[in-house]
């Protein structure tokens, strides 16, 4: 498997004049993009960046993200994409943890980026995209313009680390998953084969490129296939619809929250004739949202499963196989999935247990975390921490995060089952269910509820609704109405924050008084 740089080089040699990126009214050819990447690589080399150095990148979905990312890889250095929605302390943690030598960011992110930069002793240079930048920093656009497009002569192996992607929501402290060139190239190439992507397709980046999925199956896949990449710097549902129509986008990977927002766009005829396939990743997509989207936009949603440590894609619905709405599809070609019990024994079809993955795209480990690496990587298999099962036809069904299973009085309750019932109530917009301590049963069920605009619902009415559809022991004992739920950049609800809050602002329902 070639390096990501070699994949892009092949595309540039084959389709030099084809459009690589559409951004607003700007279009950039593959040759022009590659020249900019080489110029920046030369500039970074003059600043002392060498093979193995870590370079942090905190940019929105703009062409300079693609330019910076690949320029770093050209030097044999390691790209460290940073979530620009983090606060300064989290950005500081990641800069310190990876030992970043240089930090590339945007002028509008300096409020969080600058304090983090000053707190990271290893970071010797700050490069900023924009006009209003600190006097001691370097202009990204001037660095590119002032350098020659000469490719650095760096020997890189496909097994070299290309990127450190930081996880969110697994532990209290974000850990950096180290991914090699061949791991990322495998995931991108497999996605290309999965959807039969050719240079005639157009992919839209509604996912942030700092996220592993945005990198692997949006940026890497489009650039490796020679297909144009349509960049949106932020997700706004109406703008997404307009952009898909304007550029005749054919493929859109997204997350459940994005499909929900797109369903809320108003208009008489919102069909998108060019849009063929969407991929839903990063959380549970209710069937009613899937069905409404497909009817409204006349496009097919393929459900998928994966995680940062796996490159990230593991399974997906195939366009050539039966689609089962409840399933996350079949393992990618070359990927193996097992379901194991707590003792590590492989379970038969239709039996729930922890999902284990073996794939060429697995991480090498967590940066600076040997013990956690050993816990998660076991004899070439990744312990995902997710609970699910495989049916007789090898379709994967993801049920729950291992940490989200509620054990009440010795009985296991899958929070997603309760959430599905709550979500089906016409007044409920979103729901998240977690365990809270209980002196009698060990744990109790607590639900956080976001109501739809204009709806009112009492906790007693909601409990009565649940009792008609769930066994009593699975019904929420505590209910809290909130304005919004904490989420990751891909829209996944971060339940650890709900558990950590341990708020007293909840309403306890005595079931005996409402039955």
**Residue 402: per-residue pLDDT:** 82
Question: Quick one: how far is CA 390 from the chain centroid?
Answer: 23
Q: Is the peptide bond before 362 cis (omega within 30 degrees of 0)?
A: no
Strand partners, 19: 29
Query: SS in 3 state form for 433-468?
Result: EEEEEECCCEEEEEEEEEECCCCCCCHHHHHHHHHC
Which runs of E-coded beta strand occur in 60-201?
78-81, 102-106, 125-129, 138-139, 161-166, 176-180
Confidence grade of residue 489 (pLDDT, cut at 50, 70, 90): low
**CATH class of segment(s) 409-513:** alpha beta
Q: What's the confidence (pLDDT) of residue 488? A: 74
- Cα–Cα distance measured from residue 361 to residue 380, given in angstroms and rounded to the nearest whole number: 11
Question: How, if at all, do strands 54-58 and 365-366 pair?
Answer: unpaired
| pTM metric for this prediction | 0.88
- Name the residue with higher pLDDT: 507 or 136: 136
Q: What is the pLDDT of residues 372-418, one digit of tens each?
A: 999 999 999 999 999 999 999 999 999 888 888 888 887 888 888 89
Lowest mean per-residue pLDDT among 2-6, 7-11, 330-334: 2-6
What digits encode the pLDDT tens for the residues 141-178? 999 999 999 878 888 889 999 999 998 644 567 899 99
Regarding the domain with residue range 4-388, which homologous superfamily does it belong to in the CATH classification? ANL, N-terminal domain (3.40.50.12780)
Whole-number Cα distances in Å, 326 to 96, 369, 500: 41, 35, 30
**Domain layout of the chain by residue ranges:** 4-388, 409-513
> If pLDDT is split at 50, 70 and 90, which confidence band does 15 have?
very high
d(CA 16, CA 164) in angstroms, rounded, equals: 29
Q: What is the mean pLDDT of the chain?
A: 92
Backbone phi, psi, residue 87, to 5°: -85, 175
Answer whether residue 429 shows pLDDT above 80.
yes
Helix (H, G, I), strand (E, B) or coil at 363: coil
**DSSP line for 212-254:** HHIIIIIIIHHHHHT--EEE-SS--HHHHHHHHHHHT--EEEE
């Amino acid at each position: 498997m070639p390096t990501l740089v070699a994949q892009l080089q092949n595309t540039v040699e084959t389709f030099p004049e084809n459009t690589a990126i559409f951004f607003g009214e700007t279009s950039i050819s593959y040759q022009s993009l590659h020249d900019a990447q080489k110029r920046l690589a030369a500039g970074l080399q003059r600043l002392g960046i060498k093979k193995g150095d870590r370079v942090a990148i905190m940019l929105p979905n703009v062409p300079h993200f693609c330019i910076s990312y690949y320029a770093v890889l050209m030097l044999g250095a390691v790209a460290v994409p940073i979530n620009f929605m983090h606060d300064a302390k989290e950005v500081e943690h990641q800069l310190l943890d990876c030992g970043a030598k240089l930090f590339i960011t945007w002028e509008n992110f300096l409020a969080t980026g600058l304090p983090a930069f000053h707190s990271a002793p290893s970071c010797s240079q700050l490069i900023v995209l924009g006009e209003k930048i600190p006097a001691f920093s370097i202009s990204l656009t001037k660095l590119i313009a002032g350098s020659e497009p000469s490719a650095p002569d760096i020997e890189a192996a496909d097994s070299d680390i290309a990127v450190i992607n930081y996880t969110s929501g697994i532990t209290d402290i974000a850990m950096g998953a180290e991914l090699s060139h061949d791991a990322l190239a495998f995931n991108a190439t497999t996605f290309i084969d999965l959807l039969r992507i050719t240079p005639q397709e157009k992919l839209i980046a509604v996912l942030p490129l700092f996220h592993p999925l945005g990198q692997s199956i949006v940026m890497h896949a489009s650039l490796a296939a020679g297909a144009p990449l349509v960049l949106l710097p932020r997700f706004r549902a109406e703008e997404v619809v307009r952009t898909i129509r304007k550029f005749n986008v054919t493929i859109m990977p997204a997350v459940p929250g994005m499909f929900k927002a797109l369903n809320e766009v108003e208009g008489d005829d919102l069909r998108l004739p060019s849009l063929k396939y969407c991929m839903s990743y990063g959380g549970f997509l209710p069937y009613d949202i899937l069905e409404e989207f497909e009817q409204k936009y006349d496009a097919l949603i393929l459900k998928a499963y994966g995680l940062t440590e796996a490159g990230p894609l593991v399974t997906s619905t195939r366009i050539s196989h039966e689609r089962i709405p409840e399933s996350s599809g079949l393992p990618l070609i070359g990927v193996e999935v097992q379901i194991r019990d707590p003792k590590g024994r492989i379970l038969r079809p239709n039996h729930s247990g922890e999902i284990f993955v073996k794939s060429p795209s697995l991480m090498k480990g967590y940066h600076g975390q040997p013990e956690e690496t050993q816990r998660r990587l076991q004899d070439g298999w990744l312990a995902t921490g997710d609970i699910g099962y495989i049916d007789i036809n090898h379709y994967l069904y993801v049920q729950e995060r291992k940490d989200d299973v509620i054990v009440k009085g010795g009985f296991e309750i899958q929070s997603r089952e309760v959430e599905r019932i709550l979500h089906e109530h016409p007044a409920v917009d979103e729901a998240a269910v977690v365990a809270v301590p209980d002196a009698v049963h060990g744990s109790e069920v607590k639900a956080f509820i976001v109501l739809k605009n204009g709806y009112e619902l009492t906790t007693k009415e909601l409990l009565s609704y649940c009792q008609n559809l769930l066994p009593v022991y699975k019904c929420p004992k505590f209910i809290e109405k909130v304005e919004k739920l904490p989420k990751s950049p891909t829209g996944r609800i971060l339940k650890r924050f709900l558990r950590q809050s341990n708020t007293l602002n909840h309403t306890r329902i005595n079931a005996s008084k409402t039955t």
